[in-house]
């Protein structure tokens, strides 16, 4: 598909995450945009905000960043390699001067929430650059109890800036759109919307450094209160013996020390295995062999893990959230994320039954996402 004009992709988040382990969901979205825009014939520029100023990358610099994202290059090393490739370097105050080198009519894409500010979006507007912002969710505003301390005000400012200055907003689910536009309305403007579910790509299976010793379930996601792993940690000792194992895959996010202490205690007994920074192929292998993916999350903007498990034919037990029903359809078994008895009984039943023949579900494609976005973005 040919789309006229240049693109300016904000890659600030992607650069900030280099060398910090496996990508999170938002990181993967930014990386997918970088890869797709590099595959087009359109001129591509990359914008990076650093502590000292901005870097403007051209096609060569963007391609180099893509190579770095696939490797294990740390942030500082990446910036050292990218600076000589940059077309321009300017202090923060001279962002407008830097944008003078971007073709008028270009589209600025911010899909990672980083560097999302009134100053940046206003500068794009002044230069005649269309701005398209992807808002993944508004969880820090809707559920401040699940957000890290100090994140509410900065995120509210990002939403207010987007409402005021963004030309288009990309939404990844109808549920997320409704919640986001409620906040836009409160801010005084609802930008035109593009609704485009994310694509999902599965890695090829690869050996896992974690080897369960008996039937097991997988919980996949950052270990933090929103993901509600405490529900699983609380019920696991109540499973009939010999109990299955729980493989918790994900980095340690923000949470009180008690949650990590509880996990450590369960690890000591062999009930829980923790995998942090596992290669994507190893995650696929563990999902393939699991009795089910357990996803008791209390709030989501999309929900990638249930889709990945469904694509492998692995049963899914998930929270009964509107967005998960929208994205995953009838494949999962949906349970109230606060009803520990229902989760306990469902897990017991699956653990004691023989694995069934797997029925794999089709994944949403990145090609479909970009077809929608690029035909509506200008």
pLDDT grade for 21, boundaries at 50, 70 and 90: low
What is the distance between the alpha carbons of residues 83 and 221, in angstroms, rounded to a whole number? 34
pLDDT digits (tens, 9 = 90+) for 246-258: 999 988 887 778 8
pLDDT grade for 164, boundaries at 50, 70 and 90: very high
CB of 174 closer than 8 Å to CB of 195:
yes
pLDDT grade for 147, boundaries at 50, 70 and 90: confident
What mean pLDDT value characterizes the chain? Answer: 91
Q: Determine how β-strand 88-90 pairs with β-strand 54-57.
A: antiparallel
The pLDDT, as a whole number, for residue 199 is 93
- What dotted CATH number matches 216-352? 3.40.50.2000
> Which of the residue ranges 22-26, 94-98, 214-218, 369-373 would you say has the lowest mean pLDDT?
22-26
Higher pLDDT, 304 or 72: 304
CB of 134 closer than 8 Å to CB of 26:
no
Q: At 85, is the secondary structure helix, strand, or coil?
A: helix
The pLDDT of 171-188, averaged and rounded, is 96
For the chain, the structural domain boundaries read 7-199+366-376, 216-352
What is the distance between the alpha carbons of residues 170 and 177, in angstroms, rounded to a whole number? 9
Over the Cα atoms of the chain, what is R_g? 22
CB of 333 closer than 8 Å to CB of 316:
yes
The pLDDT of 336-355, averaged and rounded, is 92
The pLDDT of 312-328, averaged and rounded, is 95
The pLDDT of residue 125 is above 80: yes
For 154-215, give the DSSP string: HHHHHHHHHHHH-SEEEESSHHHHHHHHHHHHHHT----EEE-PPP--PPPP---S---SS-
In 3D space, the residue among 319, 309, 369 whose CA is nearest the CA of residue 340 turns out to be: 319
The pLDDT of residue 1 is above 60: no
In 3D space, the residue among 295, 301, 299, 338 whose CA is nearest the CA of residue 315 turns out to be: 295
The pLDDT of residue 338 is above 90: yes
pTM (2 d.p.): 0.92
Which residues, at least 6 apart from 329, have a Cβ–Cβ distance to it below 8 Å?
361
| Domain 7-199+366-376 shares a fold with domain 216-352 | yes
The pLDDT of residue 3 is above 90: no
Which residues, at least 6 apart from 229, have a Cβ–Cβ distance to it below 8 Å?
219, 223, 248, 259, 263, 296
**Assigned token pair, 14:** 């992607």
The pLDDT of 19-47, averaged and rounded, is 89
The pLDDT, as a whole number, for residue 72 is 63
CB of 13 closer than 8 Å to CB of 114:
yes
Query: What is the distance of C-alpha 140 from the center of its chain?
Result: 15
For 322-371, give the DSSP string: HHHHHHHTTSSEEE-TT-HHHHHHHHHHHHHSPPPPP-PPPPPPHHHHHH
The pLDDT of 122-135, averaged and rounded, is 95
The pLDDT, as a whole number, for residue 151 is 80
The pLDDT, as a whole number, for residue 60 is 94
The pLDDT of 114-131, averaged and rounded, is 95
Quick one: what percent of the chain has pLDDT higher than 70? 95
Domain covering 7-199+366-376 assigned CATH 3.40.50 in the classification: yes
Q: How far apart are the first and last CA of the chain?
A: 14
What is the distance between the alpha carbons of residues 343 and 26, in angstroms, rounded to a whole number? 28
The pLDDT, as a whole number, for residue 358 is 66
Burial of 71 (0-12, 13-18, 19+ CB in 10 A): exposed
For 130-157, give the DSSP string: EEEEEE---HHHH-GGGSPTT-HHHHHH
pLDDT digits (tens, 9 = 90+) for 35-72: 999 999 999 999 999 999 999 999 999 999 998 887 76
């Amino acid at each position: 598909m040919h789309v006229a004009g240049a693109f300016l992709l904000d890659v600030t988040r992607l650069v900030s995450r280099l060398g910090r382990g496996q990508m999170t969901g938002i990181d993967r979205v930014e990386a997918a945009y970088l890869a797709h825009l590099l595959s087009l014939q359109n001129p591509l520029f990359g914008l990076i905000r650093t502590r000292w100023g901005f870097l403007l990358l051209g096609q060569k610099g963007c391609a180099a960043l893509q190579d770095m994202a696939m490797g294990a290059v740390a942030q500082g090393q990446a910036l050292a390699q990218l600076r000589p490739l940059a077309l321009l370097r300017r202090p923060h105050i001279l962002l407008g001067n830097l944008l003078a080198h971007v073709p008028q009519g270009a589209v600025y894409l911010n899909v990672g929430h980083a560097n999302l500010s009134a100053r940046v979006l206003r500068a794009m507007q002044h230069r005649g650059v269309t701005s398209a912002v992807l808002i993944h969710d508004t969880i820090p505003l809707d559920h401040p109890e699940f957000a890290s301390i100090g994140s509410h005000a900065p995120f509210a400012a990002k939403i207010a800036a987007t409402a005021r200055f963004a030309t288009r907003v990309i939404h990844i689910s109808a549920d997320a759109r409704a919640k986001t536009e409620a906040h836009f309305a409160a801010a005084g403007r609802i930008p035109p919307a593009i609704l485009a579910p994310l694509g999902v790509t599965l890695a090829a299976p690869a050996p896992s450094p974690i080897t369960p010793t008996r039937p097991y379930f997988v919980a996949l996601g950052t270990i933090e209160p929103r993901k509600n792993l405490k529900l699983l940690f609380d019920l696991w000792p109540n499973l009939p013996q010999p109990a299955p194992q729980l493989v918790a895959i994900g980095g340690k996010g923000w949470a009180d020390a008690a949650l990590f202490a509880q996990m450590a205690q369960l690890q000591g007994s062999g009930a829980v295995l923790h995998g942090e920074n596992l290669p994507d192929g190893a995650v696929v292998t563990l999902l393939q062999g699991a009795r089910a993916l357990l996803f008791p999350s209390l709030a989501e903007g999309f929900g990638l893990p249930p889709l990945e498990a469904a694509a492998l034919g692995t049963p899914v037990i998930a929270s009964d959230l509107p967005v998960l029903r929208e994205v995953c359809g009838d494949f999962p078994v949906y349970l109230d994320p606060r009803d520990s008895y229902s989760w306990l009984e469902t897990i017991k039943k699956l653990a004691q039954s023989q694995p069934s023949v797997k029925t794999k579900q089709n994944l949403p494609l990145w090609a479909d996402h970009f077809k929608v976005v690029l035909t509506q973005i200008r």
